[in-house]
Amino acid sequence: MESLKYIIIALLLACSSRLYAQEMMDLTQVKHDVKSKRVSSYDLSGDNHDNLQNIKPGEKRTIFNVQGTGIINHIWITMAPEPRFLSRNDIIIRMYWDGNDYPSVESPIGPFFGQGWQESYLFTSAPLLATPMNGNGLVSYFAMPFAKGARIEIENQSGQNINAFYFYVDYVEMKKLPANTGRFHAWYNKQLTGPVDSVEDEHWMFGPNKPNKLGKDNYVIADIKGKGHFVGVNYYVHSPTPYWYGEGDDMIFIDGDEKPALNGTGTEDYFNTSWGAPKTPYSTPYFGYAKVNNDIGFLGKTHIYRFNVADPIYFDQSLKFTIEHGSSNVMTLDLASVAYWYQDKAERIPPIPDAAARKPMPMIGPVDIHRWRNEWRKSKGNDPKLWGN
């Protein structure tokens, strides 16, 4: 078993090395009619007030508004107050391509960059990062092309002032995009799921499950119309039970198929892990567990990510990416996600949940568990020798 672990690590490193080697080769290519540009929060007076200040509740600010043709290749953001005082779950980032009046990217800024709920922690992947100190630096290396201009705005829905907002948006200016260049999209979703028949019947605890072949009540990670390819997801799971939440399969429908074109075998399997969730975080360039619950069993919050960089999921007309919440959708879970993909043109994405719907559910703790135990004891007549099984 130990030798198998090292074989898997070697294969992952080999795959990453090949991709990095290609990137290094690309760096040797001298570009023509390409110029590096930047829009940042730099103090144009030459003083050191290098940030947008006093962004009031409900206020929107445009941080990037460029005409012409180019590709954004790097974004860095930090803000104050720090996350324990300012919810990055309620600062919205939107991106508009090619003069459209609708966004093709819309998400709370924390979840977009790999920071779930209202929390901050280190997150390291190839396209997205949350950096020291303690996840305060938000970084993207996703390529974001545009042919007729691009605009990025933020909206403060937090109910308090953003005292300082620092940013870099680096891009290349060019005369023409390469042929078949897609447009970057990202969409946030959140749902408090529940068992279809009101019984949390995981692992056949209370009888046989109802088969799920069509994914009717699955959690939706992405619902896309048009032609393109899916490139990844940040997936945030808050479980109110110590029981294993991840028996749900990924079910991916392509081009309007009634049944999934791609069927998975369990939540952790799509995310390239196995046999449940780890108890310590780990990161690779394209998948990992950035945050793990450290409570009883699987009680608490987990952030899993997978980026389909080496293996995009292609579609010609539509893609609906879904995942079961528990086997056959039997689990109550507080789920959120940000999906990332490219399309042949900039499309309108579905609306995202509002601030009230985005509010994280409270943590379950020992007091809650003791109260539940007390109700169970009462239901059994309060026999003093009741143990719990």
* Structural domain boundaries enclosing 114: 22-180
For residue 82, the tally of other CB atoms under 10 A from its CB is: 14
Q: Looking at residues 333-350, what average pLDDT do you find?
A: 98
Helix segments in the chain, DSSP class H: 2-27, 109-112, 267-270, 355-358, 366-379
Phi and psi torsions of 17, nearest 5°: -65, -40
Q: Same domain, yes or no, for 169 and 251? A: no
Residue of higher predicted confidence among 142 and 31: 142
Average pLDDT for the chain = 93
Which of 339, 334, 285, 280 lies closest to 121, judged by CA? Answer: 280
Q: How far is CA 81 from CA 75, 76, 96, 289, in A?
A: 20, 17, 27, 27
172 and 201 share a domain? no
Query: Per-residue pLDDT for 1 more than 80?
Result: no
Domain membership of residue 7 (yes or no) is no
Q: Where are the beta strands (DSSP E) in 68-195?
A: 70-80, 91-97, 105-108, 123-124, 128-131, 137-140, 144-146, 150-156, 162-174, 183-192
Which residue, of 180, 207, 237, is where some domain finishes? 180
Q: Quick one: average pLDDT of 329-349?
A: 97
Q: Are residues 191 and 124 in the same domain?
A: no
Section 341-348 average pLDDT: 98
Positive or negative, the Cα torsion across 293, 194, 357, 262?
positive
Domain count of the fold of the chain = 2
Q: What is the pLDDT of residues 171-197, one digit of tens each?
A: 999 999 999 999 999 999 999 999 988
Has residue 10 been placed in a domain?
no
pLDDT band at residue 388 under the 50/70/90 scheme? confident
Domain CATH for 27 = 2.60.120.1390
| Residues 6 or more apart in contact with residue 341 via CB below 8 angstroms | 184, 185, 186, 222, 224, 228, 229, 230, 231, 319
Residue type, 210: K
Please report where in the chains the tokens 């294993």 appear, as a residue: 244
pLDDT value for 3 = 54
Report which of 155, 137, 196 is spatially closest to residue 327, judged by C-alpha positions. 196
| 355 pLDDT tier (thresholds 50, 70, 90) | very high
User: Which of 180, 212, 239 finishes a domain?
Assistant: 180
Last residue of a domain, one of 131, 157, 180: 180
* Confidence (pLDDT) at 22: 75
According to the model, what pLDDT value does residue 17 have? Answer: 65
Nearest residue to 158 via CA among 106, 83, 78 = 83
- 9-25 tens-digit pLDDT: 555 555 556 666 777 77
Is residue 12 one of the residues assigned to a domain? Answer: no
Same domain, 153 and 186: no
Determine, yes or no, domain membership for 1: no
Do 53 and 73 lie in a common domain? yes
Specify the pLDDT at position 295.
Answer: 82
* pLDDT given for residue 198 in this prediction: 85
Q: Which pLDDT score is estimated for 108?
A: 98
Would you say residue 11 lies in a domain?
no
DSSP assigned state of 88 = G
Range with the lowest mean pLDDT among 197-211, 222-236, 263-277? Answer: 197-211
The pLDDT score that the predictor gives to residue 6 is 47
Task: Report the C-alpha gap between 115 and 92 in whole angstroms.
Answer: 13
Q: Give me the helices (H) in 28-144, please.
A: 109-112
Q: Which residue has the tokens 């369990």?
A: 266
Do 191 and 175 sit in the same domain of this protein? no
State pLDDT tens for residues 37-51: 999 999 988 898 899
Token pair in block for residue 309: 């960089």
Tokens standing for residue 337: 């996600």
Tell me, yes or no, whether 5 lies in a domain: no
Please indicate, yes or no, if residue 13 is contained in any of the structural domains. Answer: no
* Contact yes or no for 158/80 (Cβ under 8 A): no
Q: What is the dihedral of CA 203, 209, 215, 220, to 10 degrees?
A: -40
Q: Are residues 356 and 222 in the same domain?
A: yes
Do both 163 and 200 map to the same domain?
no
Place 8 in a pLDDT band, splitting at 50, 70 and 90: very low
Task: Pick the more confident residue, 35 or 210.
Answer: 35
pLDDT band at 209 (very low <50, low <70, confident <90, very high): confident
**pLDDT per residue over 97-152, tens digit each?**
999 999 999 999 999 999 999 999 999 999 999 999 889 999 999 999 999 999 99
| Rg of the chain, C-alpha, whole Å | 23
Contact predicate 264/270, CB 8 Å: yes
Question: Does the pLDDT of residue 326 top 80, yes or no?
Answer: yes
Instruction: Tell me, yes or no, whether 95 and 230 share the same domain.
Output: no
- For residue range 260-310, what is the model confidence (pLDDT) as tens digits? 999 999 999 999 999 999 999 999 999 999 999 988 899 999 999 999 999
Q: What is the mean pLDDT of residues 338-352?
A: 97
- Contact between residue 236 and residue 121 where contact means Cβ atoms under 8 Å apart: no
Is 287 within a domain? yes
Query: Residue 2's pLDDT is what?
Result: 52
The pLDDT value given to residue 370:
93
CA–CA–CA angle 82, 295, 292 (5° rounding): 55
Residues 160 and 70 in one domain: yes
Q: pLDDT tens-digit profile of 240-257?
A: 999 999 999 999 999 999
- How many whole angstroms separate alpha carbon 163 and alpha carbon 37? 27
Residue 197 has a pLDDT of: 84
d(CA 348, CA 105): 9
What is d(CA 259, CA 327) in angstroms, rounded to the nearest whole number?
A: 17
Give dist(CA 83, CA 101) in Å, integer: 30
Within this chain, do residues 144 and 209 fall inside the same structural domain, yes or no? no
**Do 384 and 283 belong to one domain?**
yes
